[in-house]
Structure 1
Amino acid sequence: MIPIIISIVSVLVGIALILWLAGFRIISNDKIAVVEKWWSPKGNLEERIIALNGEAGYQPQVLRGGIHFLSPLMYKIHKCPFVTVPQGEIAYVFSRDGKPLDPTQTLGQVVPQCNNFQNVRAFMENGGQKGPQRGIVREGTYIFNLAQFIVITNEKTYYLPLGSNDDYKTINKMAEILRERDAFKPIVIKGVDDKVGIVTVHDGPSLNKDDIIAPAVGDVSSESEKYHNNFQDPEKFLIAGGFRGRQHQVLVEGTYFINRLFATVQLIEKITVEVGFVGVVVSYIGPKGEDSTGVGYSHGELVENGYRGVWAKALMPGKYAFNTYAGKVIMVPTTNIILKWISNQRGTHNFDENLKEVSLITKDAFQPSLPLSVVLHIDYKKAPLVIQRFGDIKKLVDQTLDPMVSAYFKNIGQTKTLIQLIQERSEIQMTASSEMKEKFGHYNLDLEEVLIGTPSASENDNKIEDILTQLRERQIAMEQIETYTMQQKAADKEKELKESQSRAAQQRFLTESEINIQIQGNEGKAEFQRALQEASKIKAIAEAEAEKEARIGIGKAIAIDEQVKAYGGPQYQVAQEIMSKFTQAIEKSKINIVPNTLVNMGNSDSGSGNVFEMLLGLLVSEKLGVNFDMNKDNEDTRVLKIKEAILKSMEEEETEQ
């Protein structure tokens, strides 16, 4: 068995030796092999690494998976993995061999024929350069000759060690730079962030001496030979005439696969012009433009948009992807600007932070401090002129408006007493607003209004305050008078109101009273009519009764007359009646009719001087109002007087009824 085993082993060794001598190689499908040639009849390489013409050295072609026959006496095989670039990442390539870079170059030029660096021969034969490359490798799996190319990804660096420490250090340093720049991920600018990308190119020709920002080139998509698609194609950027340095063209929202060795990107805020403002652009770049201000304007030039200088047209409210390295935007408010010459008070725009009250010397030698507020407006069309003249609004306020306004009111103060300054404030405001409009207009400003406050005294001056106190007390007294007057009027109105309310409350009763008055008036009228009728009736009855009584009286008079004649005259008739009544009285009073003593009146001629006779005569004359002369009137005369008196008495009684 031993000879058989020896024979088998010898055969196997012989076969192995034959295979080894034949160069039998097995390469798995997930690997590649870089072929290194030990020697060649064509000689060795002197300055290159890759042997393009069969010389000894690293061969440009790589071996893929499978069985290969390469004699170990001539070739050495270096197995390498595939290069995999993860999704959404970028890989960078460093070439070990190729043409040297030009003195002005930073990166090797892109060779389109090399199929993303997978064809070494095409790369070398078409001008491929050694060093870091402008071209990048996007996501995917690639077959690279790692003797020629070093591929740097975020997770791993793919390369074939050549035994040089310097080579290893260069690769690591390059990887560190890329990680610092976050270069393995594309640049993503989100719209919600309101950012723009400022690009700085690190390759290409340098800028001209008068330029600080590289002008935009190759940004027209219709020009396919020059359109570099936002710096993603370095070769087209350079063909279009791009310069290294900070670029005027910016990146807006989107995703950009840019080689960070070729260009870096800085994100800055967009320029936002708020409502109520315009943005005046001062451009640092561009060709020299023609002045649009005319001959009469000697404070500078305004140029059309896109030229170097102050742009004649301001930016309207909105958002702008403006490169702040290529110029600046000065915000000018188009709403009313309030400037306050008042300590510790500021307007909304804070342009008046250095202003304070204006110190005056009045006509009566007081030194008050006058607080002021000035309202002005800047026409948006004139905003560039204001910026061209003053640089910004703050300088306008501090260097021009402050001294101008202060001098104007100092002049006003010298012509007014302190009381006039206080009491004539309205007139001074109107005059100031009118006179200062022209001065403000000279600086392309629209003056809206001038507002004057109350003059105040300095800390050590109490005289002004005394005057103000007197004025305040005077005003308080006047206001009190006015208040009392108004209160009196209010009281009168309140009284009228209460009367109206009471009248309204009693309206029902008033209405009822008025109706009752009307009813009573109507009833009174009816009663009056009834009274008239009753009076007429009574009058008629009275007249009838009077007529009756008159008739009866006349009849009685005639009868009495006859009786008188029958009894011997009126004296006897009256005496008879009197005596009858006298008798009745004596009967009731029980008086003696025959006196104990008889008194004689002493009339011996007539023989009738007794008391009874004289008494009867007096009674009749007094009763009827007839004066008898007992010595002269005869009997007929007395009867006639009595008759006349009776008739007269009856007529008077009728009249009274």
Structure 2
Amino acid sequence: MLALGQLYFILGVGFVLFVFLVVALGIRVIPNNRVGIVEKRWSERGSVKQGLIALAGEAGFQPAVLRGGVHYLNPFQYRVHRVPLVTIPQGKIGYLFARDGEPLGPTQTLANNALADDYQDAAAFLKNGGQRGPQRKILREGTYAINLAQFVIITETQLHYLPLSGDELASFQQMAQTIAARQGFAPVVIKGADDLLGVVTVHDGPSLAQGQIIAPVMGDDPNQPSTYHNKFQDPERFLAGGGLRGRQLQVLVEGTYYINRLFATVEMIPKTVVEVGTVGVVVSYTGESGSDISGSAYKHGELVRKGERGVWNEPLLPGKYAFNLYAGKVILVPTTNFILKWNRAQSGSHKFDENLSEVSLITRDAFEPSLPLSVVVHIDYRKAPLVIQRFGDIKRLVEQTLDPMVAAYFKNIAQRRTIIELLQERAEIQNSAALEMKEKFERYNLELEEVLIGTPASGQDGHSIEQILAQLRSRQIAEEQVETYARQEKAAVKERELREAEARAKQQTRITESELGITVETNEGRAAYQRSLQQADQIRALAQAEADKIRVYAEAQAEKEARIGVAQAIATEEQVRAYGGPKFQLTQQVMKDFAKAIADAKVDVVPRVVVGGHGGSNGAGGNGGSPNLLEGLLTLMLSDRLAGGGLAASLGASRPQALELRKAIETGLKKDASNID
């Protein structure tokens, strides 16, 4: 048996070892990268009656955590769970799930964090009414010392939690997958180069009223900080400002947004781009019901002001717009001229006419061609809302209104013309169609710019049309040949003129000299002509002066001779009286003249040869003879007639007759002289 001292020694050593063991088991060393979650095994206050966290010292998980260092806890009463600190990487988001707290309301999706928003103080969270379940608030970048018995932290790479039961892991993993599917571990980043905008759908808060399909803009005024949620990044302020559950009218534009994807999801849609040459007519699905401002004359629908439900009276002008396409529709209407083609093989750039085909015609001469058409249309940007309100869109307008109207018009045109007239009168038909259809287009708030008619294509009787076209081509070729020949003729004339011009150019020096010579001679001729005119005038003046001189001289001479004649007459009369009277003077004068004529004619008074005849001695009755000049003269002078009436009476009473008698005597004397010769 052991001595009593040995027994005490053994008991003392055992007690020391027990105390040492107890002390050793109660010491907890917490590294700085971890926290200790305290679990109380028993307590004089009993166990937790409700929830998970013991706020009053009951047995259970304690709200406070042990930070880095050495801690002593009764190993028989407390258990410490060492867990790592929660770290949220840069540019990432962490989500919280509270295991304990007030239950969620029947309309809640996420826990309210209006007052309970300190996740590192579990006691304060629970005392301030913190709710269990997924939280509205998120964890941004940083490291957090969180009680993982109270909160489960879900990050992109792992789950931070203290396992309590085996079946909760699947629930947390499902939650992580939902967040990942919504790309919720990263912020919403919208780049300007992408021309995108974010449409937000809120999954918490009051529901939309009956009839509403999209939530109005709430809490977007920075001047009201209590409700300004800064683009859904603060869910509590969004709900405080009256935000509603559902798709939001407010959109996200370029920027970075840290949004709880369990609270709101974001869908990327393209911006509405209204290109130059178009306007956007807005058909709004939300807003207050406005009053019609289209006027009483417009009976095809209502137009409302901007922001009201319906077709806005003001279109969107060219530019980019962050327009929520879930809240309305923007119909692009071209304001530049666009072409509608009635042609199966072609369509305009806007594709409004992709279902149009050629117009089937029946002409007056029973041909059935198909006519391709092109119509140029313009829409006034101010009238674009009226067009959309009336027809819904441009394509519907084209197919349901313009197509039958244009087809009917040209069918009527074709029925009044033959196929040849349809081909040859294309320009006239185009002009008349443009004028007549303009008014019809204006009824639909459209402006018709031009109508273009193509070549009729073959229908069922295409072979006949081809024959007609061949005949027209032949006719045109003949006309072109005529024109060609005429032009060739004209070209030949021009060529000849060219050759003449070239020859003229070669002889230009000589031509110039000759032309200059002609010019000199012309000028000299003109000078000579002028000199001759001057000389003629001078001669005419001299002749006139000479004539005047002669006339004056003749008049003076005549007057002189008249006076001399008078004087001679008086003298003669006195001589006659002195020398025997008028008969004697006349005979004397005749004899003087006769003697002078014989002398001038050189006539022999007595013949040189005398040929005898059968007559008497004086020769009066000789054979073939004639009395000589002297004999005749003597006979005349001695006749009784001269004696009875005188020579003047026998020769006549006038002086001209006496002169004629004198010439006759002279002629007779010359004849006799020639006979004598």
Query: Do they superpose with TM above 0.5?
Result: yes
Name 1:409's counterpart in structure 2: 410
Is the Cα contact below 8 Å between 1:334 and 1:379 reproduced in 2?
yes
- Pair 1:159-2:197 in alignment: no
Q: Residues 544-559 of structure 1: matches in 2 within 5 Å?
A: none
Question: Is 1:272–2:276 an aligned residue pair?
Answer: no
What displacement does 1:354 show? 2.0
Is 2:200 aligned against 1:206?
no
- Deviations along 1:70-93, whole A, 9 cap, x unmatched? 222322211221111111111111
The offset of 1:474, in angstroms, is 1.8
Distance change in 2, residues 1:503/1:136 (3 Å):
same
Residue 196 of structure 1 corresponds to which residue in structure 2? 197
Matches of 1:467 and 1:326 in 2, distance apart?
60
Corresponding residue SS for 1:33 = strand
CA apart distance, 1:443: 0.3
Moved more, 89-98 or 5-14: 5-14
Q: Does 1:56 align with 2:59?
A: yes
Q: 1:216 to 1:633 in 2, by over 3 A?
A: closer
* 8 Å CA contact 2:152, 2:161 repeated in 1: yes
Per-residue CA deviations over 1:311-343 (Å, capped at 9, x if unaligned) read 111111111111111111111111112112233
Q: Tell me how far 1:150 sits from its aligned partner.
A: 0.7
Counterpart-to-counterpart distance in 1, 2:457 and 2:129: 85
**Closer/same/farther in 2, CA of residues 276 and 518 from structure 1, 3 Å limit:** closer
Read off the aligned partner of 1:93 and give its amino acid letter.
L
| Correspondence 1:101-250 to 2 at 5 A | 101-112=104-115, 114-115=117-118, 117-162=119-164, 164-250=165-251
* Greater mean deviation of Cα atoms: 428-437 or 90-99: 428-437
Which letter does structure 2 place at the counterpart of 1:274? E
Measured at CA, do residues 349 and 30 of structure 1 come closer, stay the same or move farther in structure 2, by a change above 3 Å? closer
- Amino acid aligned to 1:301: E
Superposition deviation, residue 454 in structure 1 = 3.0
Q: Judging changes above 3 Å, is the alpha-carbon distance between structure 1 residues 465 and 29 closer, same or farther for their aligned structure 2 residues?
A: closer
Aligned position for 1:13:
17
Worse-superposed segment, 381-390 or 353-362: 353-362
Aligned residues: 523
> Among the aligned pairs, what percent are the same residue?
60
Gaps of 5+ in 1: 523-631, 638-657
Aligned 8 A contact 2:190 2:255 in 1: yes
For residues 226 and 346 of structure 1, what CA distance do their matches in structure 2 show? 53
* Distance verdict in 2 for CA 1:502–1:120, change over 3 Å: farther
Deviations 1:565-598 (A, max 9, x none): xxxxxxxxxxxxxxxxxxxxxxxxxxxxxxxxxx
CA distance in structure 2 between the aligned counterparts of 1:275 and 1:109, rounded to whole angstroms: 48
Q: How does 1:398-477 map to 2 (within 5 A)?
A: 398-477=399-478
Q: Distance in 2 between matches of 1:34 and 1:405?
A: 84
Indicate conservation of the 8 Å contact 1:96/1:147, yes or no: yes
| Superposition map of 1:498-509 within 5 A | 498-508=499-509
1-structure distance, mates of 2:331, 2:517: 90
The Cα RMSD (Å) is: 2.8
Q: Which residue identity lines up with residue 89 of structure 2 in the other structure? A: P
Corresponding position of 1:647: none
Alignment-derived partner of residue 595 in structure 2: none
Give the gaps of 5 or more residues in structure 2. Answer: 1-5, 524-672
Shift of 1:305: 1.4
Structure-1 separation of matches of 2:33 and 2:13: 33
Q: Deviations over 1:375-416 (max 9, x none)?
A: 111111111111111111111111111111111122222222
Once the two structures are superposed, what CA deviation does each residue of 1:21-53 show, in whole Å capped at 9, x if it has no partner?
Answer: 8x4333233321111111222221122101111
The aligned counterpart of 1:379 is: 380
Q: Aligned equivalents of 2:450 and 2:117: distance in 1?
A: 75
- Per-residue deviation, residues 172-203 of structure 1 (Å, max 9, x unmatched): 21122222222111111111111111111111
Q: What letter corresponds to residue 360 of structure 1 in structure 2?
A: L
Aligned partner of 1:69 in structure 2 is: 72
TM-score normalised by L of structure 1: 0.75
Q: Once the 2 structures are TM-superposed, how far is the Cα of residue 147 of structure 1 from its aligned partner?
A: 0.7
What is aligned with 2:83? 80
Report the Cα distance in structure 2 between the residues aligned to 1:212 and 1:517, rounded to whole angstroms. 106
Distance 2:380 2:395 in 1: 17
3-state DSSP of counterpart to 1:165 = coil
Structure 2 CA distance for aligned equivalents of residues 441 and 520 of structure 1 = 79
Aligned pairs (5 A) from 1:33-52: 33-52=36-55
Distance 1:517 1:431 in 2: 65
Q: Distance in 2 between matches of 1:333 and 1:9?
A: 102
SS where residue 462 of structure 1 aligns? helix
Q: Deviations over 1:599-652 (max 9, x none)?
A: xxxxxxxxxxxxxxxxxxxxxxxxxxxxxxxxx999x98xxxxxxxxxxxxxxx
User: In structure 2, what is the Cα distance between the partners aligned to 1:200 and 1:307?
Assistant: 22
Q: Which protein has the larger Cα radius of gyration, Structure 1 or Structure 2? A: 2
The separation in 1 between residues aligned to 2:446 and 2:41, in whole angstroms, is: 86
Say if 1:277 and 1:331, in contact at 8 Å, map to a contact too: yes
In the superposition, relative to structure 1, how do residues 39 and 510 fare at CA in structure 2: closer, same or farther (>3 Å)? Answer: same
Alignment correspondent of 1:310: 311
Deviation of the 1:301 alpha carbon? 0.8
* Separation in 2, partners of 1:127, 1:222: 29
Corresponding residue of 2:31: 28
What is aligned with 2:533?
none
Mapped to 2, the partners of 1:464 and 1:324 lie a distance apart of: 53
Tell me the distance in 2 between the aligned counterparts of 1:520 and 1:436: 75
Alpha-carbon deviation of 1:361?
A: 2.3
Q: Distance in 1 between matches of 2:519 and 2:407?
A: 83
- 1:19 counterpart letter in structure 2: V
Aligned equivalents of 2:522, 2:439: Cα separation in 1: 83
Deviation at 1:448, TM superposition (A): 0.7
Partner Cα distance (2:74, 2:517) in 1: 150
Distance 2:303 2:405 in 1: 26
Aligned-partner Cα distance in 2 for 1:9–1:515? 161
Structure 2: distance between partners of 1:241 and 1:521: 115
SS in 2 for 1:179: helix
Partner residue of 1:355?
Answer: 356
Q: For residues 453 and 521 of structure 2, what CA distance do their matches in structure 1 show? A: 75
Asked if 2 retains the 8 angstrom alpha-carbon contact of 1:29 and 1:64, the reply is: yes
Q: What is the alpha-carbon distance in structure 2 between the residues aligned to residue 15 and residue 89 of structure 1?
A: 49
* Secondary structure class of the residue paired with 2:183: coil
Aligned runs of 1:634-649 on 2, under 5 Å?
Answer: none
User: Normalized against structure 2, the TM-score is what?
Assistant: 0.72
What displacement does 1:510 show? 4.0
Q: Distance in 1 between matches of 2:307 and 2:161?
A: 49
Q: Tell me how far 1:437 sits from its aligned partner.
A: 1.0
How has the CA–CA distance of structure 1 residues 66 and 455 changed in structure 2, closer, same or farther, with 3 Å as cutoff?
closer
Instruction: State whether residues 291 and 303 of structure 1, in contact with CA within 8 Å, keep that contact through their aligned partners in structure 2.
Output: yes
Confirm or deny: 8 A CA contact 1:214 1:244 kept in the other structure.
yes
> What SS is found at the alignment partner of 1:381?
helix
> Counterpart in 1 of 2:259?
258
Contact 1:20-1:71 within 8 A present in 2 as well? no
Distance 1:633 1:36 in 2: 204
Describe the shift of the 1:436–1:69 C-alpha distance in structure 2 as closer, same or farther (beyond 3 A).
Answer: same
